[in-house]
Amino acid sequence: MSTAFPLPPELDDVVDRGTPERRAEVVRRIADLFVQGAARFNAGHVQVFDGVLLRLLPEAEAEAELRSELARRFCSLGNAPPALIGQLVQDEDIAIAGPLLRRSSQIADDTLAALARSRGQTHLMAITERTVIAPPITDVIVRRGDREVLRAIALNTGAEFSSSGFDGLIRRAAQDGVLAAAVGARDDLSAPRLKDLLASSAESVRRKLIEAATPNARIAINRVLRELAGEPTQPVVKRDFAPAQRAIVTLHHRGDLGEEAVLDFARAFQYEETVAALSAMSGVRIATLDPLIAGERHDPMLMLGKALGFGWITVRAMIGLQLGPDRMPASPDVEEARQNFEQLAPQAAQRVVGFWKMRPSVD
């Protein structure tokens, strides 16, 4: 193939018989040529450079140092030799892979996600510095990242999170005030997620979140805290729980009040009996539980189930009870709820249920 750029005339001899030092010198000269002319090169030119560099590089002296140099020089180019870039980004040495993980636009999302699954925290940290990070990648980072990595990804305004990824970020922030402040400052934090963040966070974390918030964000936080401390503002259907409470007392005296009873009530769509049983077992007033369970969100079911040590089968039946016999939850919603339930820490759930217990009675 003819090319429109000069190559060292001794290249073939260097490839076949050159010393490592000579090879390294030629690699640098070719890299210089590429960087200088990259804007003019077409795909054929790039392919020639790619093949030549791949032939020369494996035998070069101080290979790691040279590879790192090439990664730094090529990471900002949109048309760098693709096979070489693909080889360098897979390197376990962060000095080599790092510049490409941070800046290269040539690394596909599936490659980044695979590297996030298989590499260590230094590689994950490098990925968090990208200008844009898609949900398949952030999902992995939220699952695997350590405290510093999670803080970095939360601070990156170009990082996008799936629903499960955001939920995982909020769970990790429950005991980390710095992370909670970073999550709380995100523009894509919805009001329901802010409520989840505050409901699951320790008091010390809440204080740090408030301290770091902007004036407008602080107003929203205080509004949510008042909502968590008081009764729901939406009107609820008035139900007669007295017969159900008497039945639950009888079950309790017989020693039959437990998860199996809740499962039976939920499967039979016996709403009042289910709520009365959950109230007796959790210590949360029926007046507090009723609007929570009658609402649209599945979170109260997850919190109660985890706090009481229930299995997923019972929690799934409680979700069905919440919707009623004429409505079926969508499969993706159920699967997301199952994953959230499995990842939910019992301590976090117990903290939320404890918060519900402290709500003042309005009877």
Total count of domains within the chain? 3
Q: In this structure, are 255 and 220 located in the same domain?
A: no
My answer on whether 284 and 346 are in the same domain is: yes
How far is CA 40 from each of CA 3, 36, 37, 84, rounded to the nearest angstrom?
12, 9, 6, 19
Tell whether 260 and 352 lie within a shared domain: yes
Residue 245, phi-psi category: left (phi > 0), alpha (psi -120 to 50), beta (remainder): alpha
pTM beyond cutoff 0.85: no
In a domain, 347, yes or no: yes
Does one domain contain both 204 and 286?
A: no
* Token pair for 111: 């490659």
End of a domain among 229, 253, 286?
Answer: 229
Q: Could you report the per-residue pLDDT of 104-159, keeping only the tens digit for each?
A: 999 999 999 999 999 999 999 999 999 999 999 999 999 999 999 999 999 999 99
Least confident of 8-17, 146-155, 211-220, 297-306: 8-17
Q: What are the two backbone dihedrals, phi and then psi, of residue 149, each rounded to the nearest 5 degrees?
A: -65, -45
Q: Is 237 among the domain residues?
A: no
- Short-list 228, 213, 214, 231, CA closest to 177: 213
Question: Domain end: 198, 229, 260, which one?
Answer: 229
- Asked whether residue 270 falls in the same domain as residue 206, the answer is no
Q: Which residue has the tokens 């890299």?
A: 31
Residue 113 maps to a domain: no
pLDDT tops 50 at residue 234? no
Both 208 and 264 in one domain: the answer is: no
| Same domain? 24 vs 96 | yes
112 within domain boundaries: no
308-361 confidence digits (pLDDT tens): 999 999 999 998 887 777 666 667 778 888 898 999 999 989 999 998 988 665
Per the structure, the complete domain to which residue 83 belongs is given by 11-107
Q: Which residues contact 177 (CB under 8 A, 6 or more apart)?
A: 204, 205, 207, 208, 209
